[in-house]
Amino acid sequence: MNRHVNSIAGRLSLRKPQRDALEMLARITEIAPPAKNADRAAALSSIRSEYPTVSDFEREFPSVCFALATGVGKTRLMGAFISYLYQVHGINDFFVMAPNLTIYKKLIDDFRPNTPKYVFQGIAEFATEPPAIITGDDYEAKAGTLFDQLLRCKINIFNISKINTEVRGGKSPRIKRLSEYIGQSYFEYLANLPNLVLIMDESHRYRATAGVRAINELKPVLGLELTATPFVESPRGPVPFKNVILDYPLGRAMEDGFVKEPAVVTRKDFNPAGMTPEAIERMKLEDGIRLHEGIKVELETYARETRNRLVKPFLLIIARDTTHAKQLDTLIRSDAFFDGRYKDKVIQVDSSKTGVEEDEMIERLLRVEHTDEPTEIVIHVNMLKEGWDVTNLYTIVPLRAANARTLIEQSIGRGLRLPYGQRTGVTAVDRLNIVAHDRFQEIVDEARRPGSAIQLKQVILNSTDFVAKSVTLVSQSQLANSLGFTVEQPTSNTVVAPTAAKPVFEHPEEQKVAQIVFNEIRKLENQPAAVPTVEALANPEIQARIRAAVESQYRPAQMEMDGIVKPPDIAAIVDTTTKLVIQKTIPIPRILVVPAGKVRSGFKRFDLKLDVMSFPPVSDELWARHLRTDQVDIIAMGKAGPDEARLEDYVVGGLVDFDDISYDAHADLLYDLAGQVVRHLQSYLKDGNEVRKVLRCYQRVIARFVHAQMQEHYWEDAAAYEVCVSKGFTELKPSS
């Protein structure tokens, strides 16, 4: 087990696929050490012997591809790669390629200290002296400091699309022009470096471009490619990479819980017969808004219940072209669309924007995750691709004609990232919704197709899998090892970690008595009145109590005969065991502060924060089918049965289902809060019938939303509080 891999994985909190990738890098650099002008054939043979999927580097230098699904964390993995190569192999120079301007700017931010997603956070070697960041915009200005030995690690970040533009027509890129500061071109300077490593982000986007052919002349010692789609499109279909060393597809990322679960949404019993395309489009838009409003409430409720940061969701509309996008923007801003409620909450993102409009569009787009940014609807044509990393996209409405595979790949890719970094167990928080009434079954069938990105999961067994056997390693405390205790409930796969501690008692009968003594001491943990600290075990009264308990429980082995086999000295074993426990136990007590006397509790009266609640009028229920698991969620499903006499009764009826709410004790407060909800809904819905429909369909969601805010106003009054010690000390338990 590589200690450097362990250290970096721990400091950067790497997920399992990221750690697997780092272990692979460690191994390939061990069997094929990176060196200038190394033997490509020998390196390929060494790597292929352990990683058969690498059949060709496909470049003039050793290069391998790590295919990780979107949302798993490719940028953090780059930081892990650089940290490892710097620490273990002394490599100081790195060249990171980005496919476009968006990713280029994102990478620059992520590699600079004091930014939210800094990739070297926790790496001690870069804490006081972070790597020097040299970009495609400032490399000429920084040329004078390139030979400064104080700057030990240098990371060059360049935009390959800009280099592609510069080399069109056979021209030489700017990076190859002479620099007066260094007496050669910056390209020549890089090519002459003895240990340059090339890192290619989203490498599928520019594998065969002229810019990459120019970059290949750098002759790096090693190439590391990262992508979620390890193939290039051709007229005959996708052509897979031949140098993929790790393949972690989207299906596995979903299964392991690293990304959201995508679900395709439709209306119950939807029938497009007789509907115009415009009518279907309008229905999908309106249902997407209804879904979005429900998710807004679910996310705020979750944040309040768990004391997490608030996540503001937004809805993404995929338009056919810029003209269609403009029509959608005009519709959503009009009073005819939900009374103009979203006129200031929508942005159009496409190539039709220029100048000040473009700057405003980009600024709003980059801030769409911020709760103080009003945007809730983003309309785009084909601009939001790789690099737009948002975690708060929850609803997608695709309106562009495309086959099911394209819809799945282009739609879900931008919304898979989890806002809290992991699954929460709350379906609405963990699900990405694709509203596709007219394409529902087609998308479901595509997801079920063998080879689909969502279904794809392969298990390839190597011969070593049958030789190496997985075991459970159990590490016991020094005390347990000293007393000669064995692991409880061992199996054929259980291995006890080796220890230097020798058993104090060698005879089986003595160990048997010591086990009884230890069990009695464990019982005394929960009796702080008699044993307030672990040292109290040495008191004569406690010793006598333990001896008496042991003598009553001990039974010699059946084959031992009185007078022939000397019985164990119980008093001596009790004394020795107790001293060992005192010596090898850290006396940490368990202290509780509990109320004394009569306790009163309740909720204070308060005004609800209802600005996020804006449920639109309800029509029919929506169905969401998870593409990977086929689970079906029924969204906005009202409770069956007769209507309530008062509108407030819907809210109160949902609240009294919570265990901490008593109708008799809190009736006045419950109806006050219910009244606030009803008045808020009446303020924007047309009539009482619409209010009643919303209350019926969203009864449970509204009740959870109100209940979460009630927790912030809970009060408890006790006559007094007292300190209670429930344990005087705590045993150190085995770990596996």
Query: Is a pLDDT exceeding 80 seen at residue 516?
Result: yes
pLDDT score of 178:
60
The string of pLDDT tens digits covering residues 414-458 is: 788 899 988 999 988 998 888 877 666 666 676 666 666 565 333
Other C-beta atoms closer than 10 Å to the C-beta of 282 total 14
Do both 28 and 163 map to the same domain?
A: yes
pLDDT score of 181:
55
Gap between the Cα atoms of 605 and 451, Å rounded: 57
The DSSP secondary-structure symbol of 735 reads: B
Do both 216 and 297 map to the same domain?
A: no
The string of pLDDT tens digits covering residues 42-68 is: 999 999 999 999 999 988 899 999 999
Gap between the Cα atoms of 434 and 51, Å rounded: 37
Would you say residue 454 lies in a domain? no
Amino acid at 18: Q
More confident residue, 638 or 181: 181
Q: Is the Cβ–Cβ distance between 111 and 216 less than 8 Å?
A: no
Per DSSP (E only), the strands in 546-614 are: 590-603
pLDDT score of 469:
45
Do both 570 and 607 map to the same domain?
A: no
Q: Which of 431, 448, 465 is the last residue of a domain?
A: 448
**pLDDT, average across residues 650-656:** 92
Do both 220 and 336 map to the same domain?
A: no
pLDDT score of 503:
80
The string of pLDDT tens digits covering residues 304-358 is: 888 888 899 999 998 888 899 899 999 999 998 888 899 999 998 877 777 777 7
Do both 127 and 270 map to the same domain?
A: no
The string of pLDDT tens digits covering residues 671-716 is: 999 999 999 999 999 888 889 888 988 888 999 999 999 999 998 8
Would you say residue 174 lies in a domain? yes
Query: Is a pLDDT exceeding 90 seen at residue 197?
Result: yes
Query: Is a pLDDT exceeding 60 seen at residue 460?
Result: no
Would you say residue 662 lies in a domain? yes
User: Quick one: 54 exposed, middle or buried, by C-beta within 10 A (0-12, 13-18, 19+)?
Assistant: buried
- Lowest-pLDDT range of 24-28, 331-335, 399-403, 429-433: 399-403
Would you say residue 482 lies in a domain? no
Gap between the Cα atoms of 672 and 674, Å rounded: 5
Instruction: Identify the CATH number of the domain in which residue 427 sits.
Output: 3.40.50.300
Do both 302 and 192 map to the same domain?
A: no
pLDDT score of 16:
93
Number of structural domains in the chain:
4
**Average pLDDT value for the chain:** 81
Q: Which of 426, 448, 470 is the last residue of a domain?
A: 448
Name which of 191, 241, 197, 184 is nearest 214 in CA terms: 191
Would you say residue 673 lies in a domain? yes
Name which of 42, 132, 32 is nearest 86 in CA terms: 132
**pLDDT, average across residues 249-257:** 86
Name which of 621, 641, 638 is nearest 701 in CA terms: 638
Q: Which of 248, 270, 287 is the last residue of a domain?
A: 248
User: Quick one: 434 exposed, middle or buried, by C-beta within 10 A (0-12, 13-18, 19+)?
Assistant: buried
Residues of the chain above pLDDT 90, percent? 26
**pLDDT, average across residues 617-621:** 67
Do both 71 and 190 map to the same domain?
A: yes
Q: Is the Cβ–Cβ distance between 295 and 392 less than 8 Å?
A: no
Would you say residue 734 lies in a domain? no
**pLDDT, average across residues 391-402:** 82
Name which of 515, 545, 511 is nearest 527 in CA terms: 545
Query: Is a pLDDT exceeding 90 seen at residue 234?
Result: no
State the Cα torsion 316-362-212-241 to the nearest 10°.
-20
The backbone region for 183, taken as left when phi is positive above 0, alpha when psi lies in -120 to 50, beta otherwise, is: left
Q: Which two tokens stand for residue 67?
A: 């295919």
The DSSP secondary-structure symbol of 373 reads: S
Other C-beta atoms closer than 10 Å to the C-beta of 459 total 5
Determine the length of the chain: 736
Maximum average pLDDT range among 221-225, 567-571, 660-664: 221-225
Do both 409 and 520 map to the same domain?
A: no
Do both 305 and 426 map to the same domain?
A: yes
Would you say residue 591 lies in a domain? no
140-161 in b/e burial notation, b at 16+ Cβ within 10 A? Answer: bebbeebeeeeeebbbbbbbbb
3-state secondary structure of 350: coil
- Lowest-pLDDT range of 1-5, 246-250, 446-450, 536-540: 446-450
User: Quick one: 174 exposed, middle or buried, by C-beta within 10 A (0-12, 13-18, 19+)?
Assistant: middle
Whole-model pTM: value is 0.68
3-state secondary structure of 132: strand
Q: Which two tokens stand for residue 202?
A: 């989203």
Do both 234 and 268 map to the same domain?
A: no
Amino acid at 342: Y
What's the first-to-final CA gap in the chain, in angstroms? 17
Do both 263 and 242 map to the same domain?
A: no
Do both 177 and 44 map to the same domain?
A: yes
Would you say residue 215 lies in a domain? yes
Structural domain of residue 574, as residue ranges? Answer: 501-583
Gap between the Cα atoms of 498 and 475, Å rounded: 8
